[in-house]
Structure 1
């Protein structure tokens, strides 16, 4: 069965600092036309930094959920920015750690039903503390947490950020398969 849809038209409904909302007409595999609402996002980059069997996690208030959550360091890509460079930038800005070497871990589609955002996730191979420099609208606490505790936090639902869960899963799976 054919699954692909074809974009026929696109109208911008909203253009903001972080997202753009499009209303699109799509031709379905059966020939019918359907409306598709798309939240365009330039994408993000994130870093899993493991040191001495501990994972560097951040606590940060996330306005859409109205709560403080646990997550790995991450941020949005600037237009045309290389995801690996963005990941290095975000790690340093948010935590003060400068990583010289990053290895690609996984790319994720956080909500493929309505957004084109891709988050590129990297593994930091060591990093040196150089001092953080948060954006003026960022308030972040970072700390290292033992891997077994992070696993427990994921299992209990204390950590439910998708990129963090995916990164930790991929990292642990890679270790078990001796790919790292």
Structure 2
């Protein structure tokens, strides 16, 4: 049995700079009807940037949504029509100042498919070249180098709480 929901109607509720919100009326497999609130997001990238010394380039950034400063890998929203690989290189450079000679897609995943269509592209960046960061005017970040072993400890003790960063660090064990 294939469990699908058939969209009967869709209503745009909000169009914003980062997200849009719509409400879909769907028919469930048992022929009942339900409303689905869906956040539309253009997608995003995250970058697992690893130095030759097996350090992960990370940022600490205050996130208003959770009222906390979080440890994260560099990341950012895709612009409409933007190539994810180019976005990953741009975000790495803007947030940390680093550029890379090698970058490859290592995974894609949905961040919260229960309510959002955001797709995250996770890249591995190596052969890093240090430079000056150029963050967005509303972006305030601290840049840190964290040894892979220390990052794994930070996962264990709950210091790192950001899902994309957790995925990136767990994948780093297989990539280095």
Fold shared per TM-score above 0.5: yes
Task: Tell me, yes or no, if the aligned pair for 1:108 and 1:163 is still in contact at 8 Å.
Answer: no
Provide the residue aligned with 1:14 in structure 2. Answer: 14
CA offsets 1:33-68 (integer angstroms, 9 cap, x no match): 211000011010010011111111100000101110
Q: Which portions of structure 1, spanning 4 or more consecutive aligned residues, are displaced by more than 3 angstroms?
A: none
* Deviation at residue 173 of structure 1 after TM alignment: 2.9
TM-score, structure 2 normalization: 0.96
Task: Determine helix, strand or coil for the equivalent of 2:21.
Answer: strand
Provide the residue aligned with 1:138 in structure 2. Answer: 139
Matched, 1:86 2:91: no
Structure 1 distance, partners of 2:172, 2:89, is 18
Structure 1 distance, partners of 2:59, 2:118, is 21
Provide the residue aligned with 1:128 in structure 2. Answer: 129
Provide the residue aligned with 1:39 in structure 2. Answer: 39
Structure 1 distance, partners of 2:10, 2:107, is 30
Task: Tell me, yes or no, if the aligned pair for 1:59 and 1:70 is still in contact at 8 Å.
Answer: yes
* Deviation at residue 135 of structure 1 after TM alignment: 0.7
Task: Determine helix, strand or coil for the equivalent of 1:121.
Answer: strand
5+ residue gaps, structure 2: none
Provide the residue aligned with 1:178 in structure 2. Answer: none
Task: Determine helix, strand or coil for the equivalent of 1:102.
Answer: strand
Task: Tell me, yes or no, if the aligned pair for 1:106 and 1:167 is still in contact at 8 Å.
Answer: no
TM-score, structure 1 normalization: 0.94
Task: Determine helix, strand or coil for the equivalent of 1:133.
Answer: coil
Task: Tell me, yes or no, if the aligned pair for 1:45 and 1:77 is still in contact at 8 Å.
Answer: yes
Counterparts of residues 141-180 of structure 1 (less than 5 Å): 141-175=142-176
Task: Determine helix, strand or coil for the equivalent of 1:112.
Answer: coil
Give the root-mean-square deviation of aligned CA atoms. 1.0
Task: Tell me, yes or no, if the aligned pair for 1:96 and 1:129 is still in contact at 8 Å.
Answer: yes
Task: Tell me, yes or no, if the aligned pair for 1:58 and 1:143 is still in contact at 8 Å.
Answer: yes
